Amino acid sequence: MCPSLSQGMSDAFRSEDMADSAAVQRLLEAVDLPIGRWDRQARLTFCNPPYLRWAKRSAQDLLGYTLAELFGPDAWARARDAFAQAFNGQVADYERLLTHLHPPRWGRVQVFPERTAQGEIVAVYTIAFDIHNDVVLAEALRRSNWMLEQHMRNAPWGVVETDGDLRVTRWSPAAEALLGYSSEQSLGLACLDRGVSLDELAGWQGVLQSIRAGELQSTVVQRPHQRPDGQNIWTEWTLSALRDPAGSMVSLLCFVRDVSDQVRRQARLLREAEYDALTGVLSRRAIMQRLDAALERRQPGELLAVCFVDLDGFKPVNDRLGHHEGDRLLKHVAQALAASVRGDDVVGRLGGDEFVVVGLLRSERDAERLAEKLVHAVRKASENTHAQVLVTASVGVAMVPQHASNNFDLLQRADDAMYVAKRGGKNRWAICQNPELQATPLLVTPAWE
């Protein structure tokens, strides 16, 4: 029953002895809710048939007894204040678990005064409503919200939530610890771009706007973050939007974690895959990738040269001085080769004592100069490392477009030219001739020999 109805019943009960009147009796029995009348000593003086069914007792077992005697002191403790308000002329209510029911159920009891014709309050009426399902659902919702809040607070990832305008509404303790800003510094502010470098800012803001506009529903972004104490970390943001039926974003939920170790590990793995572990020059895989890229970006009129470098006399170093000294020489040779090329040229190790140099040049004469420098660099590196064992280099050169058009053929032509240099006496270089001439590569001996 709603408060207005109970108030109307309160206004109707104004005769000298309303509980015995036939009109009121019919009214109370017509209402399919448990209704009781209580005097100033909180004794039950009247109840309708639904009240008997609700109390699960007969009228003889109910009438004349106080509320505490009927339902226990705890029930009276919950009802006392509402009874006092009703005897002061107010409509009041209270809630309690009705333990006389099996199983117990939650009920709301409204209490309103009965007045005589002179306005004197001589009794109060109670009407009981079953609210058990509402209480159970509310408790389940409260517990669910509490559990969600605890999960959010205790999650190892930072939890950040915004409204539809990207103003922060939640900033968890983990977010404080991770990002370096307190909740007091964050709540109510559109501050998701704090700590973003200028290089990353446009991209980050573009992602946020795409989600807000509905172009993205969710995404994962890794980006560097600078804490207010100056520490730089890598963060991963998992972003997910909540939208209303019209599609407008009403909330953005962000889970943030520190992925600095992961990023460093990936960078290390990438470096290990890209660079030769012993010498520090590019690995076989990486030099082939760079060769492919150079072939793609070569402009008409440019000459792409590949120099295949094979060491002469390297095996005696391992045999006589040991593999440790052989490794040391390979490092020095790699450094010498890298120091001999221009900034845009690249040096890689194919394996063993074989190296490759790739460069975009202007002419065949530039290729000859590059090959000559490489032969000279290897000899100097050997002389500076092991005076007792001389190691030199045989270098074969092949070029695009003269000798090949793809990386496999180019390397094969350079390898063929390298063997010509070896057969010619080593410590020299050779340039491949046009394969259509079916001639052997042109052998050139360094001027200093």
pLDDT at position 207 over 90: yes
Domains of the chain, first to last? 3-135 (3.30.450.20), 155-263 (3.30.450.20), 275-444 (3.30.70.270)
The pLDDT, as a whole number, for residue 91 is 95
pLDDT at position 15 over 50: no
CB 153 within 8 A of CB 172: yes
pTM over 0.75: no
Least confident of 129-138, 309-318, 366-375, 404-413: 404-413
The pLDDT, as a whole number, for residue 397 is 95
The pLDDT, as a whole number, for residue 140 is 87
Look at residues 325, 428, 340 and name the one whose alpha carbon lies nearest to residue 377.
340
**pLDDT one-digit tens code per residue, 157-176:** 899 999 999 999 999 999 99
Least confident of 78-92, 139-153, 231-245: 139-153
**pLDDT one-digit tens code per residue, 33-54:** 999 999 999 999 999 999 999 9
Chain CA centroid to CA 206, Å: 17
Burial of 377 (0-12, 13-18, 19+ CB in 10 A): buried
CB 33 within 8 A of CB 127: yes
pLDDT at position 363 over 70: yes
pLDDT more than 90, % of the chain: 67
The pLDDT, as a whole number, for residue 24 is 66
Angle of helix 364-385 relative to helix 323-340, nearest 10 degrees? 150
Distance between CA atoms of residues 6 and 36, nearest Å: 13
Burial of 63 (0-12, 13-18, 19+ CB in 10 A): middle
Angle at 208 between CA 207 and CA 210, to 5 degrees: 65
Chain mean pLDDT for the chain:
87
Contacts of 148 (CB under 8 A, 6+ apart): none
The pLDDT, as a whole number, for residue 8 is 47
Q: Sign of the CA dihedral 132, 135, 139, 141?
A: positive
Looking only at the bridges linking them, the beta strands covering 168-171 and 92-98 are: unpaired
pLDDT at position 16 over 70: no
CB 106 within 8 A of CB 99: no
The pLDDT, as a whole number, for residue 298 is 84
Look at residues 201, 209, 204 and name the one whose alpha carbon lies nearest to residue 236.
204
